Amino acid sequence: MISEVRRAADGGGGGEGDGSATVKAQLRLRALIVSGELPPGERLAELVLVERLGVSRTPVRAALLKLQDEGLLDPIPGGGFAVRAFSESDIRDAIEVRGTLEGLAARLAAERGVAASLLSEARRCLDAIDAVLQGPALDDAAFGIYAEENARFHTLLADMSGSRVVQRQIERAAGQPFASPNGFVMVLNGGPQGRDNLVIAQHQHRAVLQAIEQRESARAETLMREHARLAHGNLAQALASRESLARVPGGALIQRFGTR
């Protein structure tokens, strides 16, 4: 959910209006939201945030605007922002958008061809995941490595498209709350089927890369869209219990019951 920070000016603010103060406000405010300290529906008053975050109004306003761009805040009619709540259908739709775009990237990669160096880098990434999955069970460190390499593979896939337009759109889609490739990976940590689900995901990684290398564009697109849908199952698992949901970063923002 972290992305570039936009400056916003209110005609004053002096030194605290610079990028560093805005980043500070953005990171601290995001942490309060994701942790649940600022719950869904909470109206955010600028003056209260100035006091709480220890920065002036200019970076607070900039941070609020940026967090709205990230999808964590909703504007309130008449001015101001409230912490956004996410329904299951919101999250499923966001995952579908990412999957559709990644499918497009895979198809373009297969149609246009990919540089050997980029393919080699993707294979190294998948080899690292294979090494993590060798053991019968995964600890926290192994899940962390998996998440890092998984994110890297998805970034490489976007690069393989050869299209800056597609890359930007994937980055934007994956930056939406809970829509990233790792959005629900940690919910598998500690579950009896956690490793098995990651093995399935890795098998799909290999199949997509093979389809790209063999220039099978339709197959590559279908496989990548199907791969993104694994996150739907992880979402369902996260919603199954409070313990599972607690393992999801930002899980406090998800409405668990009766919300469509």
Per mean pLDDT, which range of 1-15, 125-139, 200-214 is the poorest? 1-15
- pLDDT value of position 190: 62
In angstroms, the CA 199 to CA 140 distance is 16
- pLDDT value of position 103: 97
Per mean pLDDT, which range of 86-95, 135-144, 199-208 is the poorest? 135-144
Tell me what the mean pLDDT of segment 235-260 comes to: 78
**81 φ, ψ (degrees, to nearest 5):** -140, 155
- pLDDT value of position 260: 40
pTM: 0.80
Amino acid at 146: Y
- pLDDT value of position 162: 97
- pLDDT value of position 15: 43
DSSP class of residue 256 equals -
- pLDDT value of position 248: 85
Per mean pLDDT, which range of 15-29, 53-67, 87-101, 164-178 is the poorest? 15-29
Note the CATH architecture for domain 14-83: Orthogonal Bundle (1.10)
Label residue 6 by pLDDT band (50, 70, 90): very low
Label residue 256 by pLDDT band (50, 70, 90): low
Tell me what the mean pLDDT of segment 3-7 comes to: 33
Residues written for the chain: 260
Label residue 156 by pLDDT band (50, 70, 90): very high
Label residue 243 by pLDDT band (50, 70, 90): confident
Do residues 208 and 189 make contact, with C-beta atoms less than 8 angstroms apart?
no
User: CA torsion angle for 113, 115, 121, 123 (degrees, to 10)?
Assistant: 40
Q: 88-253 domain in CATH 1.20.120.530? A: yes
- pLDDT value of position 138: 82
What are the residue ranges spanned by the domains of the chain?
14-83, 88-253
Label residue 157 by pLDDT band (50, 70, 90): very high
Tell me what the mean pLDDT of segment 189-211 comes to: 88
The tokens for 8 are: 């916003």
Label residue 171 by pLDDT band (50, 70, 90): very high
Label residue 201 by pLDDT band (50, 70, 90): very high
